[in-house]
């Protein structure tokens, strides 16, 4: 029974950390040819999208979901978000997105890190082969999705990478630094090696601990502003 409660508490904690709630889907906007896809980095506060829309002076279609994994999972995945967006209106010219963070984070928080994506001090900064294999599989999933977007006639994709998480009271999330570094390198490669016209944004040098909420994961208002400011110079010339 004690194990049951430990697992239940872990699941509840994870739900609060990866982000429950967030904004609603927006299937019709001022500019229906621009869509956003992704997880709670975008969706929990919705501030990245709000900033981008304020800069642009127009709204965009929104399909982001807090807790979303790249493909699969309990929450509508990025793959499924894209399918819904196509179903609503297949005339998509620009995709602004992130994805794959929860595929690493959720197992860390709910299943006690089965892929060993945390690097503890005794591992001397070496990321496990099992975590690398997980990320390599996510690379394949990302390339497949980007190629599909290109085949569907999407003109441009802006892919936001991930910043380093910070420690919280009950979890040393800073131990995911090497996983984030390896993950961003593979997502950047996915952008480069897919057939899509894809621009990758690396936020690691911009987001610091003061830009991350106390949950160790999500951007504060200042963090969301910084992320929007990284995206906007890529997005503005395309509008």
46: left (phi over 0), alpha (psi -120 to 50) or beta: left
For residue 214, count other CB atoms closer than 10 A to its CB.
10
Tens digit of each residue's pLDDT (9 = 90 or more) over 163-198: 999 998 778 999 999 999 999 999 999 999 999 999
Tens digit of each residue's pLDDT (9 = 90 or more) over 27-47: 999 999 999 999 999 999 999
Q: Is the pTM above the cut of 0.85?
A: yes
Collapsing DSSP states into helix, strand and coil, what is residue 44?
coil
* Overall fold of domain 2-238: Rossmann fold (3.40.50)
Tens digit of each residue's pLDDT (9 = 90 or more) over 123-139: 777 999 999 999 999 99
User: If you search the block for the tokens 């010339």, which residue do you land on?
Assistant: 237
CA distance 75 to 114: 20
Q: Which string of DSSP letters, residue by residue, matches 97-163? A: E--SHHHHHHHHHHSS-TT--S--GGGTTPPPHHHHHHHHHHHHHHHHHHHHHHHTT--EEEEE--P
């Amino acid at each position: 029974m004690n194990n049951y409660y430990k697992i239940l508490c872990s699941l509840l904690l994870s739900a609060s950390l990866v982000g429950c709630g967030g904004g609603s889907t927006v299937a019709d906007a001022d500019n229906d040819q621009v869509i956003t896809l992704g997880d709670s980095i975008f969706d929990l506060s919705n501030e990245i999208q709000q900033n981008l829309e304020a800069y642009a002076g127009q709204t965009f279609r929104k399909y982001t979901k807090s807790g979303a994994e790249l493909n699969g999972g309990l929450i509508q995945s990025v793959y499924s978000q894209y399918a819904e967006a196509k179903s609503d209106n297949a005339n998509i010219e620009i995709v602004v997105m992130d994805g794959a963070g929860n595929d690493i984070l959720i197992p860390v928080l709910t299943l006690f890190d089965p892929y060993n994506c945390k690097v503890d001090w005794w591992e001397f900064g070496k990321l496990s082969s099992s975590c690398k294999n997980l990320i390599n599989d996510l690379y394949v999933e990302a390339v497949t999705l980007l190629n599909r977007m290109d085949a569907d006639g999407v003109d441009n994709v802006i892919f936001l990478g991930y910043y380093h998480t910070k420690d919280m009271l009950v979890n040393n999330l800073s131990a995911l630094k090497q996983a984030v570094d390896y993950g961003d390198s593979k997502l950047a490669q996915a952008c480069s090696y897919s057939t899509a016209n894809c621009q990758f944004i690396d936020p690691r040098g911009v987001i610091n601990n003061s830009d991350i909420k106390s949950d160790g994961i999500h951007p504060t208002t200042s963090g969301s502003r910084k992320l929007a400011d990284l995206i906007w110079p890529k997005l503005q010339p395309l509008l």
